[in-house]
Amino acid sequence: MRIAVVGAGPAGVYSAQELVDAGLSVDVFDKVPAPYGLVRYGVAPDHPKTKRIALALGRTLGNPAVRFFGNVAYGLDLDLRDLLACYHAVVFAVGADDDRLLDVAGEHLWGVGSAAQLVSWYNAHPHADDSFAHTVLAAREVAVVGAGNVALDVARMLVGGPHRLAASDVPERVLDLLARSRVTDVRVIARRGPAQAKFTVPELTELGKLDDVDVVVDPADLAGADDEADSRRARANVELLRGWAERPTGRAARRVHLSFRLRPVAVVGETAVAGLRLDRLGVPSTVPAQAVVRAIGYRGAPLPGVPFDEETGTVRNLGGRVVDATGTVLPRLYVAGWIKRGPSGVIGTNKADAAETVRALLADADGFPAPLKVGPATVPALLRGRGVRFVTWPGWLRLDAYEVALGRSGGRPRVSVDDLATMLAVTRAGDL
């Protein structure tokens, strides 16, 4: 049996591994030439250890029972009819590419953008646009709205200094711009209290270890937080925050302010951002900011031909089986990862999640249509016929080696290539 997996992020690759373990053949498609999804394009570049998850994922994609097709977008290069004709079943693991809006006045102002835009920029995503990064790094004060690790990643990247990235894979262009950062104050603005923050303990701890950066916490924000902290993580976070709150304000060149129980009401400014108006239980305040970054969560985008739940921003599903609005199962269609359960959990969470999906698929397999009318050569031929320059696994390995070589010349482990034309040339996409 042959299965298509759309998305080569953690959820797609873990699904592929489960399918291969069950003896099936798998084709994994991704819209970008490089695999690994947010491991490559989300995880902060100053977390090289976490990036190493890519090595484990690569073992699956290099398995002979798996074929990789990079630079192939579902909905653009292939549609549902193609996939259902060529595969017994399809697992969508496309992640959550959209972001949630603040839904406040002034959100359209120049200088308001999403964490995703910055994350794609510093991680060298080939579709990234640098303009928001330029705006943010030209600001002195930046407000980051959110209370999760992505908000902390952004804060750390903005004030941590480029020297922390000396051994990372970020392109020179990114290092240069970070070196010219004018940011002195980042205000991380959380809607709920410190005990409800979704920061993980290691990420919060790391914030306190940046050179020449003070973490500023208002002691008043911590009132009652101990009683509300009902998990080990919440207790540890509150303890860390208290440590900062009780410390006299330092003299560092840059600061990260962590503030809580604030609801953004409006972005203020004439044409460009001047500040963020906030509300705390009816008490208004305004913080100065020349850039506002939304880090309040990612959101799935609808897939053509697949039922979507606008409320949750996920594909409608029951335990990984795609269902329509009435709850009826749509045969042969499955989902895994963020598009299935929403943007929560860590990378490893997607493993158990993919396992659940593949269990459902295998349980249904008896009902899949018997032999497909087409063989394994059909999809590559179809793509070639459509002029799609797809990237194969050996192609990706060439780019991988190229990035390592690029790094070596600059004394770094690797340097990411983000120019689509170069990526396609190095991978020799399209010539087979």
Ligand X SMILES: Cc1cc2nc3c(=O)[nH]c(=O)nc-3n(C[C@H](O)[C@H](O)[C@H](O)COP(=O)(O)OP(=O)(O)OC[C@H]3O[C@@H](n4cnc5c(N)ncnc54)[C@H](O)[C@@H]3O)c2cc1C
Task: Tell me the site size for ligand X, rule CB under 6 A.
Answer: 34
SS3 category, 286:
strand
Contact pattern for ligand X over residues 74 through 113, marking x by CB under 6 A? xx-----------------xxx-x----------------
User: How far is C-alpha 293 from the geometric centre of its chain's CA atoms?
Assistant: 15
- Contact with another protein (CB under 8 A) among 85, 272, 318, 352: 352
The residue within the footprint of ligand X, chosen from 32, 112, 165, 315 (CB under 6 A), is 32
Rounded to an integer, what distance in angstroms lies between the CA atom of residue 266 and that of residue 247? 32
296 is in an annotated binding site: no
346 annotated as a binding-site residue: yes
Contact, 335 vs 351, CB < 8 A?
no
The answer to the question of whether 277 is labelled as a binding residue is no
Q: How many CB atoms lie within 10 A of CB 19?
A: 27
Token code pair at residue 134: 């330029």
298 makes contact with ligand X (CB under 6 A): yes
Q: What are phi and psi of 112, to 5 degrees?
A: -105, 130
42 binding ligand X? (CB under 6 A) = yes
Cβ distance to another protein smaller for residue 18 or 418: 18
Query: Does residue 6 belong to the site contacting ligand X (CB under 6 A)?
Result: yes
Q: Does 256 bind ligand X (CB under 6 A)?
A: no
* Positive or negative torsion for Cα 401, 423, 419, 31: negative
Question: Rounded CA gap, 27 and 286, in Å?
Answer: 52
How many Cα atoms sit within 13 Å of 366 on the Cβ side?
A: 1
Rg (CA), the chain: 23
Contact call for residue 417 and another protein (CB under 8 A): no
* Residue among 43 and 287 whose Cβ is closer to ligand X: 43
Is 200 an interacting residue with respect to another protein (CB under 8 A)? yes
Sign of the Cα torsion 152, 154, 155, 160 reads positive
Structure tokens at 170: 């970020």
Task: Please report how close the Cβ of residue 56 comes to another protein at its closest, in angstroms.
Answer: 4
What is the C-alpha separation between 87 and 2, in angstroms, rounded?
5
Closest CA to 247 of 276, 273, 218: 218
The dihedral over CA atoms of 291, 141, 153, 356, expressed in degrees to the nearest 10, equals: -40
Among 11, 19, 266, 306, indicate the residue that binds ligand X (CB under 6 A). Answer: 11
90 versus 183: smaller Cβ distance to ligand X: 90
Binding segment for another protein among 173-181, 184-192, 348-356, 412-420 (CB under 8 A)? 348-356
Binding of another protein by 233 (CB under 8 A): yes
Tell me how far apart the alpha carbons of residues 298 and 313 are, in angstroms, rounded to a whole number.
9
- Nearest residue (CB) to ligand X, 30 versus 403: 30
> Minimal distance in Å, beta carbon 198 to ligand X?
11
What does each C-alpha distance from 180 to 124, 136, 186 come to in angstroms?
Answer: 18, 11, 16
* 38 interacts with, out of ligand X, another protein, none, CB within 5 to 8 A per kind: ligand X
Tell whether 251 is in a known binding site: no
- Residue that has been written with the tokens 């991704």 in this structure: 30
Contact status: 47 vs ligand X (CB under 6 A): yes
Binding residues for NADP(+) are 191-192, 203, 345
Judged by the rule CB under 8 A, the positions of this chain that interact with another protein are 10, 49-50, 52-53, 55-56, 200-202, 232-233, 345-352, 355
Residues lying near ligand X in the complex (CB under 6 A): 6-12, 29-32, 37-38, 42-43, 47, 50, 73-75, 93-95, 97, 119, 150, 153, 298, 337-338, 345-347, 350
Which positions make up the binding site? 11, 38, 191-192, 203, 338, 345-347
